[in-house]
Amino acid sequence: MSKTIGIVGLGLIGGSLGLDLRSRGFQVYGVSRQARTCQIAVERGIADEAGLSLELLALADIIFICTPIAAIAPTLKQLIPYLSLNTIVTDVGSVKTPIVQECSQLWDYFVGSHPMAGTAEQGVEAAQKDLFVNAPYVLTPTTTTPAIATQKIEEIATLLGAKIYTCSPEQHDRAVAWISHLPVMVSAALIDACTSETDASVIELAKQLASSGFRDTSRVGGGNPELGVMMAEYNRENLLRSLSLYRDRLDRLIQYIQQEDRDRLNNVLESTGRSRPDFLT
Ligand code: NAP
């Protein structure tokens, strides 16, 4: 197996990959935007060597691009002069279709991927060991992706303890719209609706009474706004489709409650109770 890895973007995901790959015997070269990040990465054992120039990755057999989504394809363009003919390049972006479309045009040995692990923290300090253990690692090859590229990334993700899934970029984006991007918008709308209460004493009381139910349902709507904006920008069609189907379901519930249709309301709630475990296996 290839033993020399390059990582661009030494933040939460890139840094965590570096920690795990070094502990499994890989030589890791890291590139990031800020010199301070590179220094911390070496001090923390994320990379054997780290610097600001992509030239540092000329010896890498496999390169992980772990920058914010907007910088992934531009980074690959800048990397190309330093790549050997068969260097495998992957990314970790949370949306796949636009990235894979652009990057697979730029580099034959590109395979899109998405390790579905994270924390609420960002940056090199947030990097942690074993972040990917038991987490889904989705590979999104296209019909033209060389099998060897997919196979090598799968081997590495398996070494990290992740669970491998393979699908098209389009299927990935449609699926994550349901289980990741829609919940952020629904949860944000929930918090927003609560703050529209006009009676100051009621809203104060509600804040004091809020407990585990509100904590669970509001958590993803109270996070980093950049992530929500990124989802809306890069997975717009799928997110809009999920949101409008969600609005239909809300309208249906409103209708049953207005009509005091206890049986239908009960049927929906029984059915959602049966379906939920299927999403949490
Ligand atoms: P992050 O902690 O902010 O790390 C990104 C790092 O990239 C920053 O620390 C920054 O390093 C560096 N960077 C930014 N622009 C760069 C550029 N042009 N060239 C080189 N380095 C650059 O973010 P993250 O959470 O790791 O997310 C990175 C990627 O992982 C994103 O594409 C995201 O979609 C994906 N992802 C995130 C999660 C999650 O839960 N957070 C989960 C799965 C996948 P400096 O400190 O040097 O500026």
Asked whether the whole model's pTM tops 0.85, one would answer: yes
Tell me how far apart the alpha carbons of residues 217 and 210 are, in angstroms, rounded to a whole number.
11
Position 1 confidence tier, pLDDT thresholds 50, 70, 90 = low
Alpha carbon of 257 to ligand 1 centroid (Å): 45
Closest CA to 4 of 78, 71, 77, 63: 63
Question: DSSP character for 94?
Answer: S
136 lines ligand 1 (CB under 6 A): no
141 lines ligand 1 (CB under 6 A): no
135 lines ligand 1 (CB under 6 A): no
Q: Can you state the angle between helices 169-176 and 97-106, rounded to 10 degrees? A: 160
User: Which residue out of 55, 94, 116, 229 has the highest number of ligand 1 atoms within 8 Å of its CB and is therefore the one to mutate?
Assistant: 94
User: Which residue out of 33, 39, 128, 234 has the highest number of ligand 1 atoms within 8 Å of its CB and is therefore the one to mutate?
Assistant: 33
Tokens 């890989």 identify what position? 26
Alpha carbon of 105 to ligand 1 centroid (Å): 23
Please give the pLDDT value at position 250: 98
Helix (H, G, I), strand (E, B) or coil at 110: strand
Instruction: Assess whether pLDDT exceeds 90 at residue 120.
Output: no
What are 85-107's pLDDT values in tens digits?
Answer: 999 999 999 999 999 999 999 99
Tell me how far apart the alpha carbons of residues 154 and 138 are, in angstroms, rounded to a whole number.
9
Cα–chain center distance at 49: 26
Give the mean model confidence (pLDDT) for residues 258-267: 98
CA-119 nearest atom, ligand 1: 40
Please give the pLDDT value at position 156: 98
Burial of 236 (0-12, 13-18, 19+ CB in 10 A): middle
Burial of 79 (0-12, 13-18, 19+ CB in 10 A): buried
Give the mean model confidence (pLDDT) for residues 219-224: 90
Tell me how far apart the alpha carbons of residues 24 and 47 are, in angstroms, rounded to a whole number.
12
Instruction: Assess whether pLDDT exceeds 70 at residue 114.
Output: yes
The protein residue whose alpha carbon is closest to atom 35 in ligand 1 is: 93
Helix (H, G, I), strand (E, B) or coil at 157: helix
Tokens describing residue 265: 């309301």
Alpha helices for the chain (secondary structure H): 12-23, 35-43, 72-79, 97-106, 147-159, 169-176, 182-194, 200-209, 212-218, 225-234, 236-258, 262-279
12 lines ligand 1 (CB under 6 A): yes
Give the mean model confidence (pLDDT) for residues 185-198: 97
Instruction: Assess whether pLDDT exceeds 90 at residue 234.
Output: yes
What are 50-63's pLDDT values in tens digits?
Answer: 999 999 999 999 99
Closest CA to 41 of 63, 3, 2, 14: 14
Alpha carbon of 67 to ligand 1 centroid (Å): 4
Q: Are 163 and 138 in contact (CB under 8 A)?
A: no
Position 2 confidence tier, pLDDT thresholds 50, 70, 90 = low
Tell me how far apart the alpha carbons of residues 19 and 42 are, in angstroms, rounded to a whole number.
10
Tell me how far apart the alpha carbons of residues 96 and 243 are, in angstroms, rounded to a whole number.
19
Instruction: Assess whether pLDDT exceeds 70 at residue 240.
Output: yes
> CA angle, corner 93, sides to 121 and 217, nearest 5?
50
Tokens 């081997």 identify what position? 155
